[in-house]
Amino acid sequence: MALLFATFLPALLHAAGDRPDPRLTPSQLLLAEVQDVRLAGLLREVLDRNPGLAALEARVRSVAERPAQARSLPDPNASVTAYLETPETRVGPQRATLTLSQKFPWFGKRGLRERAAVHEGSAARAHLESTRLERLTQARVYYHEIGFLDTYHALTGSDRDTLRHFEELARARYASGIGLQQDVLKVQTEITRVETKLLRITEQRARAVAALNALRNHREGASIETVPLPDPFRVALDRIDLEKAAVERRPEMERAAAEIERAATLVALARKDSDPDITLGVNYGFVGSRDDPAAGLASIEGDGQDILGISVGLNLPVRRARRTAQVREAVEQRAAVEGQKEQLVAQIRRSVEELAARIPLIWSQLRLFDDVLVRQSEESLRLAVSAYATGSVNALDLLDAERILLEARTAGARARADYLIAVARLEGVIARPLDRPAGEGGQSHAR
């Protein structure tokens, strides 16, 4: 069912236009905005197959059964008393007594218990949704990290191919008598270093893939094809607006509100515990016919007639110290939950502030690498290759130019991945997709 609903998320969003669809949870809304088809499929697997989410879903279903239990009356009591020595009454010996009783909590107690259970269910559902957001963010981070490692591996592999070309060039110069054998050895050493780096990148990728497979509960060793590292879009960042959105939309805030309401309800219930409960009962006594000598002398009205009676009972809430402590405990629990909510708000604001400040810096770095440093390094390498061919520079200068270009390209890829990761984390913090400014990559994705 979850997979079927996720399939129609884009259609729901399109039908809603720019307005958020109330049928979509934050995790569903974020999933619907993912443009990468492969990433969207992996995220759906995380939502459908993650063991932690499955456990929380079972807990939500479990807690949903508590309101019905809380509002129901206690089970009635039935008892039978059989007399071994039958007491003799005027109308005959009493053989046995059947008693049926029902306890009725004082007015309002059952409603408070049901309300507390409803708030507990709301808190459980909000906790499930916050965990879904967390798992989606983790999966997106691993996916973009794999994308960086794949790009890094491709750049390093290309660098190795270039170095092998340099090795051939150095051998040709040495064979012609205008180069040194030491140049050939230096290039070969650099090739070995690059091949070692490729092995290390492969190991890092395997760890990231294993982490992503664990999130989607996939079998060990399941492979993930090469992940592209797309050009990111620039996002609009208004810290005040982002903080407001986070406080309004984060499921943790909904959970905290539900827990506060539940704690307040428990305070009211603890205070109401001083009111007595009522027990109503029906007694039915089985009476036999009189068999004493006097019974045969005269007719006795009601001879052998059974007895019917009713009873009313109250429990006596005289343990004041226990009930006072119960109320104080409930009050302190409410204060603790309110303090946790304030702490959560502070954490949200700190996360928004940090990410909102970091994303523009990463964007500036990305533009610097892509627009300036990479182009300069490419031009520097081109000149170095031409100079080496004519003998104007040595192998060390050539290798330095190649290394600088690789570092510039790698840093650009790292900045691109860091930007995508920071955006994913910020969207997880505010529980909605980020806005694109006008003219940046098409229509805004604001929700």
Render pLDDT for 64-88 as a digit per residue (tens, 0 to 9): 999 999 999 999 999 999 888 777 7
Residue type, 110: R
> Six-digit token pair at 335?
């204060």
Asked if the structure places residue 134 within a domain, the reply is: yes
pTM score: 0.82
Asked if the structure places residue 347 within a domain, the reply is: yes
CATH number, domain of 41, equals 1.20.1600.10
Give the position of tokens 């068999």: 291
Asked if the structure places residue 17 within a domain, the reply is: yes
Asked if the structure places residue 283 within a domain, the reply is: no
Asked if the structure places residue 49 within a domain, the reply is: yes
21-25-28 Cα angle (round to 5): 90
In the 8-state DSSP scheme, what is residue 225? P
How does the average pLDDT of the chain come out, rounded? 86
Asked if the structure places residue 300 within a domain, the reply is: no
Render pLDDT for 359-370 as a digit per residue (tens, 0 to 9): 999 999 999 998
Own/partner pairs, 169-172, CB within 8 angstroms, 24+ separation? 169/388, 169/389, 170/395
Domain count for the chain, please give it: 1
Give the residue numbers spanning the domain of 217: 2-72+105-274+317-430
pLDDT interval class at 442 (50, 70, 90): very low
Asked if the structure places residue 124 within a domain, the reply is: yes
What is the reported pLDDT for 297? 47
Asked if the structure places residue 78 within a domain, the reply is: no
